[in-house]
Amino acid sequence: MADKITFLGAGSTVFAKNVLGDVMLTSALQEFELALFDIDLERLKDSENMLNNLKATAGSGCVVKAYTDRKEALRGAKFVVNAIQVGGYDPCTITDFEIPKKYGLRQTIADTLGIGGIFRNLRTIPVMMEFARDMQEVCPDAWFLNYTNPMAVLTNAMITHGGIKTVGLCHSVQVCMPHLFDALGMEKDGVQTKIAGINHMAWLLEVTKDGVDLYPEIKRRALEKQKEKHHDMVRFELMHRFGYYVTESSEHNAEYHPYFIKKNYPELIDRFNIPLDEYPRRCVEQIERWKSMREELVGSKNLEHQRSHEYASYIFEAMVTNQPFKIGGNVMNTGLITNLPKEACVEVPCLVDASGVTPTYVGDLPPQLAALNRTNINTQLLTLEAAFTGKKEHIYHAALLDPHTAAELSIDDIVALCDDLIEAHGGWLPKFQ
C-alpha span between 174 and 379 (Å, rounded): 26
The reply, when asked if residue 139 is annotated as ligand binding, is no
CA 199 to chain centroid: 7
Residues 160/332, Cβ–Cβ less than 8 Å: yes
CA distance 202 to 74: 32
| C-alpha separations of 235 from 225, 249, 263, 335, 432 in Å | 12, 7, 20, 28, 37
The reply to whether 171 belongs to the active site is: yes
**Side chain identity, residue 393:** E
Contact in structure between 23 and 317 (CB atoms under 8 Å): no
DSSP bridge partners of 152: none
- Confirm or deny that 149 is annotated as ligand binding: yes
Catalytic: which of 161, 171, 309, 404? 171
92 labelled ligand-binding: no
Amino acid making up residue 382 = L
Please say whether the beta carbons of 10 and 85 come within 8 A: no
Amino acid sitting at position 34 = L
Q: Do the Cβ atoms of 328 and 335 come closer than 8 Å?
A: no
Annotated binding-site positions: 149, 170, 200
Annotated binding-site positions for substrate: 149
Catalytic residues: 171
Annotated binding-site positions for Mn(2+): 170, 200
